[in-house]
C-alpha cells in the first residue's frame, strides 16, 4: 500500500498537506471513489527486467544493432520497423518492464487486446513504445529455447501486405536463435488466457 500511496511524491511518507489535498480531491469528486477503490485493490506485479531506450538514432542503426546481436527478424517485423508510423525514442531513458499473462489481469478466458489493455491500466501498466520490441530482443538474452513467445503490448502498426495490424513478438522457439516477429493484433482478435505479455510500468515521469 505504501508504494501506491507514495507514487508521484518525493518520499514514501506523504506530508500532512499532501494527505489533506488527497482527501480533498476524493471529497469534492476530482478523484472518484469507485476509481480510487479499483486503483487501491489492483494487483501489483514485480518488475521483470529493465532496458534502455534512445540508443538508436535511426532505423538503419536499429537494424545494424540487431544484426550484431544476431537477432533474426521475420518479414512482418522488418516491415513494421520500416513503416513510417514506427518511431524511435529520442532521449536516453531506462524503463521497467513487467511480464504478465492474460489471466493474471483477471481478463476473460479469451480477451481482445482492448480488454487486456484496460485491465493492465488498472495495475499501472501502460503500452510500450514501438521500439521496445527490437530493443528488448537485443538487450534481453536470457530466455531458454522453447519458452512461450512474449507479445509486446504496444499500439499496433498496419500491415503493408494486408488490412491487418501487428505487434512485435520476442521469441526463441528453438536453437535456431533469437527472433523478433510481427504477429497479428486486429481489434477483434482474441488472445488465449495463457498469452504472455510485456507491458511498461507507469511512473510519474512517463
Could you tell me what percent of the chain has a pLDDT over 90?
60
CA-nearest of 138, 192, 149, 153 to 172 is 149
For residue 35, the model assigns a pLDDT of 58
CA distance linking residue 62 with residue 81, whole number of Å:
9
The DSSP string of 42-53 is S------EEEEE
CA angle 81, 98, 32 (to 5 degrees): 105
For residue 174, the model assigns a pLDDT of 80
For residue 4, the model assigns a pLDDT of 37
Contact 101, 191 (CB under 8 A): no
How high does pLDDT run on average in the chain?
84
Helix (H, G, I), strand (E, B), or coil: what is residue 189? Answer: coil
Q: Which residue has the higher pLDDT, 41 or 195?
A: 195
| Residue pLDDT, tens place only, 129-156 | 999 999 999 999 877 676 789 999 999 9
* Res. 167: pLDDT tops 90: yes
Return the domain boundaries, the chain: 2-41, 49-201
CA distance linking residue 163 with residue 153, whole number of Å:
20
Neighbours of 59 (CB within 10 A): 16
pTM listed for this prediction: 0.79
| Residue pLDDT, tens place only, 65-102 | 999 999 999 999 999 999 999 999 999 999 999 999 99
For residue 179, list its beta bridge partners.
Answer: 72, 171
Amino acid at each position: 500500500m505504501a508504494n501506491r500511496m507514495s507514487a508521484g511524491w518525493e518520499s514514501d511518507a506523504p506530508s500532512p498537506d499532501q494527505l489533506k489535498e488527497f482527501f480533498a480531491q476524493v471529497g469534492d469528486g476530482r478523484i472518484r471513489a469507485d476509481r480510487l477503490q479499483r486503483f487501491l485493490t489492483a494487483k501489483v506485479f514485480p518488475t521483470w527486467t529493465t532496458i534502455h531506450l534512445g540508443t538508436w538514432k535511426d532505423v538503419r542503426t536499429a537494424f545494424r544493432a540487431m544484426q550484431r546481436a544476431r537477432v533474426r527478424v521475420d518479414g512482418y517485423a522488418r516491415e513494421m520497423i520500416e513503416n513510417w508510423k514506427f518511431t524511435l525514442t529520442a532521449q536516453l531513458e531506462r524503463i521497467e518492464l513487467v511480464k504478465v499473462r492474460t489471466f493474471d489481469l483477471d481478463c476473460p478466458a479469451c480477451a481482445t487486446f482492448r480488454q487486456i489493455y484496460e485491465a493492465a491500466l488498472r495495475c499501472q501498466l501502460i503500452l510500450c513504445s514501438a521500439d521496445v520490441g527490437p530493443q528488448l530482443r537485443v538487450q534481453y538474452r536470457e530466455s531458454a529455447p522453447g519458452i512461450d513467445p512474449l507479445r509486446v503490448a504496444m499500439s499496433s502498426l498496419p500491415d503493408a501486405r494486408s488490412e491487418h495490424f501487428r505487434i512485435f513478438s520476442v521469441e526463441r522457439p528453438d536453437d535456431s536463435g533469437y527472433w523478433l516477429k510481427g504477429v497479428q493484433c486486429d481489434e477483434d482478435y482474441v488472445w488465449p488466457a495463457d498469452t504472455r505479455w510485456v507491458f511498461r510500468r507507469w511512473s510519474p515521469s512517463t
